[in-house]
Every structure is written in C-alpha cells, then in structure tokens.
Amino acid sequence: MSLFEPAPTPVSTPAPRPLADRMRPLTLDEFVGQQHILGPGKPLRRQIERDELSSIILWGPPGSGKTTLATIIARQTRSDFVKFSAVLASIKDIKEVMAAAEKARGLGRRTILFIDEIHRFNKAQQDAFLPYVERGDVVLIGATTENPSFEVTSALLSRAKVYSLAALSTEEILALLNRALADPRRGLGGERVVIAPELLRQIAVFSNGDARAAYNTLETAVAAAARDAQGRAVVTEAVIEDAIHRKVLLYDKAGEEHYNLISALHKSVRNSDADAALYWLGRMLEAGEDPLYIARRLVRMASEDIGLADPQALPLSVAAMQAVHFVGMPEGNLALAEAAVYLALAPKSNALYTGYGEVQKDARQSLAEPVPLHLRNPVTGLMAHFGYGRGYEYAHDAPDHWTAMPCLPESLRDRRYYRPSGEGFEKTLKEKLAQIEEWKKRSART
C-alpha cells in the first residue's frame, strides 16, 4: 500500500545512494547496539520476530537506529507498511492513511504506520490517530529525538510502549565503520581503503554516537583521499581534518586520556585557575567529547568544591547543561565555558562534600537507629497511644523559630556533619550556626 504514485522511469543512471543508506542493516542480526531492548529473548525482539508488534514509540538521539529498526520491521512484517515524516505530512495525508488502513483491516490486513519525528505533530494531529490505534486499524511506530513525556500526548502515550534508544558507543560505531570498509557490495570494500586504526577510531569518537554522521564522515574522507600506485584510497589525518572541518586531536572517550583531561579540568576549577579550566574544557570539546558528559561533571564540581560558598554555582551549572541540550553544539560550548569560568572563580568549600561523606560512613557502619518518637507523625490513634509525636516542638511557634528539641538519634546526638568554611556565603551560614549553638547553650542553662 502506498500514498504516492509510482516514480517515473529514470532516463539516466541514478545517483548512488549515500553510504549510510546503503549500509542500513536489513535484519535484527545485522543491527548494532540497543541490546537492552533487542538482545536475544527481549520482549521487543520477540514481538518483531513473531510479527506480533503493538504500537511503540522509539525515543533516542540522532543516528541511534530508530529509522533502521522501523525499516527492519517493514521487511519482516506481513503487514502493509506506510512511512511518512511528520515534517512533510498534511492533515489530508493522515486522513488518507487512516481511511486506507481501516479498509485494509476490513479485508483482514494490518497496517503498520511509521511516523518519523512524531514530536512535530501538534496535539490535534496526534489525537487524530487515537481511535485508529485504539481499534487496531493501525500499529503505530513513532520515532522522536525529544522526550515523549513532553512532546507526545498522554492519550497516545498510554496506547504505545516507549522504548529508549541509547547513543551508540565508540566500539559499536567502529564495528559499523569496519563493516562498511569490508563490504564490497554495499560498502567501500571496492575502494581498497587504507586508513590507520587510530584515525578510524577518531571518526567514531567525533560521531558522538551517531552512526549516520560516522558513515558520512568516512564516505567524504574516502572520496577526497588520494589514490596510490596500487589504486588504493589512502585516508590521511589531513583528509580527516578536511572531512570534519577541525583538527584531529587523537582522543578516546573510553581511554586514559579521557580521564586525564576531565581530571585536569576538575582540578583547575578547584584551584581557581580560570584560564586552565577554559583550556582543558576546550581540549575536550574540540576532541569530540560528549558535551553533556562535561556538563554533568561541572554540576558535580559545583556541589563538591563550591557548595554553599556560592549557592548560584549549582543552578548556573544546571542551566549550562540545559542550554547544551536545548541549542546543541557547537553553540552550546559557550554555555559550558561560562559555567567552567564561573566555577573556577567562585569561592571554594568542600564542607558539604566532607559532611556528606561522614553521613555515609555513619549510615553504613552504625546501627539503623529508629526515628525518635517525637519526630514521628501520629497518623492513627494507635500510633498516638504509643507515643508518636509526643514532645514535638513546632519551631514556628518559638520566638526565634528555634527549639532545643533534638533531631538526631540518641547515639549521634552530638555529631556535627556540616562545618561551613568562612568562604563566600558560607561565612553567613557559619555565623548562623554559631548563633544557634549559643542559643542552645543558653537554653540548656535556664
């Protein structure tokens, strides 16, 4: 079944299909990655193999295999398969598809409808599918790079199972690239490509988990490579740099250099060296590091090395992470740079880090002491009878909003976990704690 007229007979040799399209896996066994949902015995794989698929939404980053998986389903299913993009489809197209699907179901045939970028449909368009999905006229496969919780209506979500696809790892991308180099029919095997393993790995690193981007880079590099006396395509570092429009910095996101650079960034921030922090940040970004990984580490630095010495450090770091997610790269690199410099120049304190470390130690090594009775809520009469809530003092009723009521278990009554430094805003917090301690002493004497 198709919504479109047959293509006219070509009058000349068609242009070759892109490498990414030629190398698209044709079976589940060829599919690389996503073993958490497609591994042997996984429910989604069993549904596909048995042709018992129900409506699903595939959520994942670009190049993670959403369209490929839908194509494999199209090859393996005995259903009519219709594919269109939410970017191009009109209401008229939707109505035609639904009418045809309803008619096909009456004839005993099932229709699988694949919608790419389903998040681009508005609420009314998404709602138009509901009765047909609910009746079983169509099995819906939606693909989206956006969180379905925010971009797909709750009614449609309740009728479809959401599967999250992860960005491919460097090793998985490498496997795909080596497959393309070895395949003489669909891939580049006929080109007899010569490329150093470290350069091929760098293509995988730069792709940032996007198989399509990796294929495109490799295809561009091979096309631009000079041929040697044996007719082989020799891909050099300079060719790769031209293909990716940046200098190759040999870097493995899973190797030692990855950890060396993030360590250098963290310690530069801790040492209040803004220039070094900016440099190491740039080194990682220009080498192809996942910007969201760096953003997560900046969030950690804000809590571990600054904490309440500057309460704005954490929200600014989170804002940088959201900015990277919202605008993407390379535009998001300045948001990360802003956060890194701010953290480097912020007042430093590890009081929260050390205090929580002591809490962890006590929680793991001491007895799990019961919550003191006066801190428990007497939800039922029986609880009140056994003393729940007895002796509780409501701080808002006290003149200074402080009471002498103990809130730690008996064996930990005198423990002090949070000891603020005199840096930044923690100086104010330190003074506040000193006031509370002095008030407690006076209360104990009276």
| CATH number, domain containing residue 180 | 1.10.8.60
Please indicate, yes or no, whether residues 99 and 72 belong to a single structural domain of this protein. Answer: yes
Whether the pLDDT of residue 384 is over 90: the answer is no
Whether the pLDDT of residue 10 is over 70: the answer is no
Please indicate, yes or no, whether residues 132 and 178 belong to a single structural domain of this protein. Answer: no
Of 10-19, 131-140, 163-172, 294-303, which range is least confident? 10-19
Please indicate, yes or no, whether residues 237 and 269 belong to a single structural domain of this protein. Answer: no
Beta bridge partners of 56: 141, 161
Rounded to an integer, the average pLDDT of 260-273 is: 91
- Please report which residue ranges of 2-160 form alpha helices under DSSP H: 19-22, 35-38, 43-49, 66-76, 91-106, 123-135, 148-151, 154-157
The average confidence (pLDDT) of the chain is: 85
pLDDT in tens, 44-73: 999 888 888 889 999 988 889 998 998 888
3-state secondary structure of 407: coil
Consecutive H or E run containing 364: helix 351-365
Domain boundary among 191, 224, 244: 244
- Residue 335 placed within a domain: yes
Provide CB contacts within 8 A for 438, sequence distance 6+.
none
Q: Which residues of 41-75 are buried (b: 16+ CB within 10 A; e: fewer)?
A: eeebbeebeeeebebbbbbbeebbbbbbbbbbbbe
CATH number reported for the structural domain that contains residue 284 in this entry: 1.20.272.10
- Please report which residue ranges of 120-169 form alpha helices under DSSP H: 123-135, 148-151, 154-157
Structure tokens at 341: 């410099």
Task: Please spell the DSSP secondary structure of 28-50, one letter per residue.
Answer: TTT--S-HHHHSTT-HHHHHHHT
Question: Are 23 and 181 a contacting pair, CB within 8 Å?
Answer: no
Question: Are 325 and 294 a contacting pair, CB within 8 Å?
Answer: no
Number of domains in the chain: 4
Domain boundary among 218, 244, 270: 244
* pLDDT of the residue at 289: 82
Question: Are 364 and 356 a contacting pair, CB within 8 Å?
Answer: no
Domain boundary among 221, 244, 267: 244
Please indicate, yes or no, whether residues 190 and 156 belong to a single structural domain of this protein. Answer: no
Question: Are 291 and 282 a contacting pair, CB within 8 Å?
Answer: no
- Residue 14 placed within a domain: no
Q: What is the DSSP letter of 427?
A: H
Please indicate, yes or no, whether residues 266 and 237 belong to a single structural domain of this protein. Answer: no
Cα(333)–Cα(99) distance, integer angstroms: 48
pLDDT in tens, 80-93: 888 876 666 666 77
Cα–Cα nearest to 194, from 232, 226, 224, 231 = 232
- Residue 339 placed within a domain: yes
Whether the pLDDT of residue 211 is over 80: the answer is yes
Determine the structural domain holding residue 333 and report its residue range. Answer: 256-345
pLDDT in tens, 305-319: 999 999 999 999 999
CATH number reported for the structural domain that contains residue 106 in this entry: 3.40.50.300
Please indicate, yes or no, whether residues 154 and 41 belong to a single structural domain of this protein. Answer: yes
- Residue 107 placed within a domain: yes
Structure tokens at 253: 């996101």
Quick one: the chain helix, strand, coil %, rounded to 5?
55, 10, 40
CA dihedral 271, 275, 281, 283 (to 10 degrees): -120
CATH number reported for the structural domain that contains residue 427 in this entry: 1.10.3710.10
- State how far the alpha carbon of 430 is from the alpha carbons of 15, 81, 105, 370, 433, in Å: 71, 67, 72, 30, 5
